[in-house]
Chain A
Amino acid sequence: MLRPCLRYSPRAVRSPRCPQYSYRNSLQSPPVNQKSFLPLPSPPSIRGLQTPSTDSQDRIPLRKQLKQDAKSVKARRRERREQEEASRQKWELTVGVEIHAQLNTETKLFSRASTSPSELPNTNVALFDLAFPGSQPEFQAATLLPALRAAIALNCEIQPVSRFDRKHYFYQDQPAGYQITQYYEPFARNGYIDLYGYDGIAPEDGDQVRIGIKQIQLEQDTAKSQELPPSTQLLDFNRVSHPLIEIITMPQIHTPATAAAFVRKVQSILQSCNAVTTGMELGGLRADINVSIRQRGDDSGSHQYGGIGGLGQRTEIKNLSSFKAVEDAIIAEKNRQISVLESGGVIEGETRGWTIGSTETRKLRGKEGEVDYRYMPDPDIPPLLIGQELVAELSRTLPTAPDALLNMLLSPEYGLPIEDAKPLVELEDGARLEYYQYVVDILRELQQDLDPKARASLGRVAGNWVLHELGALLTKMDLPWDAERVTAQSLAAIIDNLQRKQITGATAKQVLGMLFDGDRRPVAQLLEDENLILRPLSREEYMALAEAAIEQNPQMAEQIRRKNQLGKLGWFVGQMMRTGEKGRVEAQKAEAILRELILGS
């Protein structure tokens, strides 16, 4: 089955269609098609539109009822906000996040088998991946590179010596009976990322919040299992031992929105340094969330994690597969814990699950069902020694971080507004941004002769065309991004012609549409062939058009003159555009002539 997967964008630009992809860690969860990464408030429940009204006394006019309903919805929202705020004042939420991300590597972690996901099931497996008796691991040093890029991008300290451990539990998707991970000595520690307002953090967190990363470890993925009812499980070992990193944060997040923003930002950082294959929407990333609450100011809690003490008992929500799920699950779990504590209960340390679209987390297993993983150093795998030179070289060649890119786009050099800069950075793993920068470069070259003021607006204008004009065409046709469809040279030429008033805005859009639909002629020739170059009308021609328009509606002209209803000038401009030769009437000039004729100024 194919279906479109939407990428994050305020204008919902569509990205390549993608095959369905299900993902399972140690727990089952259905594949999720996430419509949007934006954390949306759940729709308010609107009831009462169809209130049964048998009694004539109750009969009220529809208009009035609609008004009342809207009022009560507002009131309920306000009430809920107030409740939330009251409970927020009383209870402090603490969240820690664990993110698993599939590394972008050629081979598996401990064999030379390919990681290509598209092959036939059970074809990309080596003896060790299947845990054949007598087989041994062969660590693939190249898999370390994306892991290191990720760790550096997340500001971690790379450990010169790290080791691999075995984590034991029985599950059919894990042929060895254990997962090889880095429990005692991970390869990266003590990182952080900064989240800003534009990352979507909660208002309570202010302009900026720093989330510490406790450690990052390398580990194996499991096989993919697929249920075949009634009683068969199909196993595809192609995914087994695909290299993963697990990113573990400090418990330093205190709002659901910030937790979602954190996961979103980690994904964008991992994608920007080419560390991962796919994002959350394709199952390349998934999160486990630890949630605890305590009364504000009360740090007598007996629980501690990562050196932070005084916390309440935490529960873990496993295997969240979208940003919205992260936020919703935390809200639900926080509310559950508050209501348990407020009714005199005790929070149990347990593992919970979350189903998309639900309003409550559900218990998966309690403490008595807790697995003792019996971590043991793997006796076959030598310690991982990472040289400083390698780390230095990777740091040097790391692509620019998304925050730095944003700052660049917001700076006077490009002068973009944040709502344009963000999608540019995030769309198509930076491909759109690359295209945009190319367009701007060409435009700068073309417009060297123009005055500084015109040139200063160039970045903003180009942004508009790349994101909105071109974006709208893609959305309309439901097509993936393709930098070659309308080349950067062509788009720059269109914008240049427009800026120089060689063509009108309408013509520019028309030309863009023609190129988009496959016209391969150079822009200059196309304008020539199609006779689209603006041949300015003479003053006399404008006069004639304006007079004809006024003649059609002298009353309106009169109103403008007497009541100074300037807004009505637009109607006459429209008339002139319609009656004049296509692509030749410039709105500004038309209006100037009209003012002159009607107002005498």
Chain B
Amino acid sequence: MSLLLEAERYVANQSSHLALNAFITHSGRWLGQAKDADLRRKQGKTKSRLDGRLIAFKDNICTRDLPTTCASKSLEAFRSPFNATVVQQLEDAGAIIAGKTNLDEFGMGSHSVHSRFGPVKNARCSDDLSHLSAGGSSGGSAVAVATDQCYLAIGTDTGGSVRLPAAYTGTVGFKPSYGRLSRWGVVAYANSLDTVGILAKETSTVRDAFAVLNQHDPRDPTSLSPPSRSRIASKLELPQLSSRLESAPLRIGIPLEYNVSELAPSVRRAWYRSLEYLRRQGHTIHPVSLPMTKSALSAYYVLAPAEASSNLAKYDGVRYGTHPEGPNSEDESESYLYARTRGEGFGPEVKRRIMLGAFSLSAQAIDNYFIQAQRIRRLVRHDFDAVFRAEHPLTSNASRIEESTTKAGVDVLICPTAPSPPPSISDLMNASAAISPLDAYVSDVFTVPASLAGLPAISVPVSGKGNVEHHADNDLAGIQVVGQYGDDDLVLNVGELLEGCAI
């Protein structure tokens, strides 16, 4: 199939799936670019494996040619004067921007319902045919991939925002190690956690995009430096690590703390199937303990809102953020100027997190909240370091090296991406339903630890079909593979392996 034909098919799907609300902005400029790519292909001058492919970008990633709204009223009229590095890298590789996808405002949410442009709808329906949550916050990107509105989509993952939508939509969602992909041009939600992620139907497609994007960017001060990259690479070339999956079977860890009683049966079945599948291939399964798991979610919901409250201070109506028409109020003082812009520009979930963050950073609360949460974050990292066979490549602690040679750690962790299948949107949106905003936070419980530790993690769809007759689709669950920092390739490879038991 020619690239043009493929592009036409994606664009046709964009029109037929408008109701899913996956896109905020569609690009109108794909036609000529697809033709050019076909020509390059004919001449054998293809730029990359992504040349001529339609790629959708989450709308919190800056693009010069299309608006960047972050699904917020406050940025309705905002145009970025520059492209994010990831956008530029993919364009340079020949990719075509399919459009900007819908999300939870500024990436804050787990179901992509907190959007100025309305909720994203999962193509999968519940038994009573109401739409299910697409997961968030990169729900638009996930739905666009799941319903063939694009070849591949870029999202962002702060606490699970790529992996959860992947799990809910039956797609593959990959969050690389923190610092692998440039954040330049990604509108910050929580800088120390924000990671650009990749969504596609297959892991091999994700890998193609990762190959293009996995570069040092001098404009991002948190981008892994070339020396750090070569240090990681040389550690991975050590025989005991390079043999994994090539000539030696994997040691697979199952974190016991993730086997909670609230786990939905279909999710538990999918987890079990995955482990059984891998065991049959000769890999060994080892129970491990990550004792800080329970505190990790709380720590995340202190740290991320704290950074958010700081990052979102710029949307005050002076330079960024739409200043509402009309007089500020009777009192023209400055505080009213800001208060009204921010009061009207932000949605309720964003306001909730700004309040949360402002509180946990306040003089009276910082010691008990922000500082404690940072401590827990370090302990979460220690948890992971204690179970992985490979040591953290960027901690040069001699005692740890000794420890790692004596202990028999695992290569990857396999666990569910989310504790339950997607809830229905009507339940989420219905104010009278007994769902508090905090319930949405629980869906992040399995994805947040890897975010706090900056680890690579992928969610792949695995069937959790039981004996009872069901619509096959609804039994798909996301299974997560988590690796040591820098072990991105292994995580991708194990994810690909698991695709074998997808259906």
Q: Are A and B part of the same complex?
A: yes
Chain A residues in the interface with B (C-beta under 8 A): 127, 130-139, 166, 168, 170-172, 175-178, 231, 235, 372, 374-376, 379-382
Residues of chain B contacted by A138 (CB below 8 angstroms) = 218-219, 221
Contact A131 B320 (CB under 8 A): yes
19 A-B residue pairs with CB within 8 Å? A131-B319, A134-B84, A134-B185, A134-B187, A134-B188, A135-B184, A136-B183, A168-B310, A170-B313, A175-B314, A177-B312, A177-B313, A177-B316, A374-B361, A374-B362, A374-B366, A375-B366, A379-B307, A382-B222
Closest to B106 in A: A133
Which A residues lie within 8 Å of B75 (CB)?
133
What CA separation (Å) do A185 and B196 show in the bound complex?
30
Is there contact, CB below 8 Å, between A137 and B80?
A: no
Are A134 and B221 in contact, with the CB atoms below 8 A? no
- Please name the residue on chain B nearest to A175 by beta carbon: B319
Known interface pairs A133-B78, A134-B80, A137-B221. Does A176 touch B314 (Cβ–Cβ under 8 Å)?
yes
Q: Which residues of B contact A127 (CB under 8 A)?
A: 81-82
B220 partner, pick from A132, A136, A172, beta carbons under 8 A: A136
Within 233-292 of B, Cβ neighbours of A (below 8 Å) are at none
**Number of B residues with CB within 8 Å of any CB on chain A:** 45
A138 to B223, CA, bound (A): 12
Q: Enumerate chain B residues within 8 angstroms of A376, measured Cβ to Cβ.
A: 306-307, 310, 361, 370
Does residue B318 face the partner (Cβ distance < 8 Å to A)? yes
Complex Cα–Cα for A172 and B70 (A): 23
Taking the closest CB of chain A, its distance from the CB of B178, in whole angstroms, is: 11
On whether the beta carbons of A380 and B221 are closer than 8 Å, the reply is yes
B55 at interface by CB-CB < 8 Å: no
* Closest-CB distance, A218 to chain B (whole angstroms): 16
By beta carbon, the residue of chain A nearest B335 is A170
Which of B221, B314, B332 is close to A133, meaning CB atoms less than 8 Å apart? B314
| Secondary structure call for the A interface | loop
Give which listed residue, B68, B313, B319, B332, contacts A168 with CB less than 8 A: B313
Query: Which residues of the partner chain A approach B306 to less than 8 Å between Cβ atoms?
Result: 376
**A130–B312 Cα gap in the complex (Å)?**
14
Q: Which residues of B sit under 8 angstroms from A375, Cβ to Cβ? A: 361, 366
| Total residue contacts A-B, CB cutoff 8 A | 98
Give the CA-CA distance A465 to B191 in the complex, in Å. 63
Q: With A137-B221, A381-B221 in contact, do A131 and B184 touch (Cβ < 8 Å)?
A: no
Q: Which of A131, A231, A382 is the one whose CB lies under 8 Å from B314?
A: A131
- Chain A residues positioned under 8 Å from B413 (CB to CB): none
Residue on A nearest B84 in the bound complex, by CB: A134
Q: Are A172 and B318 in contact (CB under 8 A)?
A: yes
Residue of A nearest to B318 (CB): A172
Q: Tell me if B62 counts as interface (CB < 8 A to partner A).
A: yes
Give, as a whole number of angstroms, the nearest-CB distance from A332 to chain B: 28
The residue of chain B having its C-beta at the shortest distance from the C-beta of A127 within the complex is B82
Which of A130, A134, A372 contacts B62, CB < 8 Å? A134
**Complex contacts, A135 vs chain B, CB 8 Å:** 184-185
Report the bound CA distance from A134 to B318 in whole Å. 17
Q: Are the C-beta atoms of B81 and A132 separated by less than 8 Å?
A: yes
Within 8 A of A (CB), among B72-88: 75, 78, 80-82, 84
B84, B188, B314, B358: residue with the most chain A Cβ atoms closer than 10 Å: B314
| Residues A380 and B191 in contact in the complex (CB < 8 Å), given A133-B75, A136-B184 | yes
Contact of B219 with A176 in the complex, beta carbons under 8 Å? no
For B82, what are the chain A residues with a Cβ–Cβ distance below 8 Å? 127, 132, 134
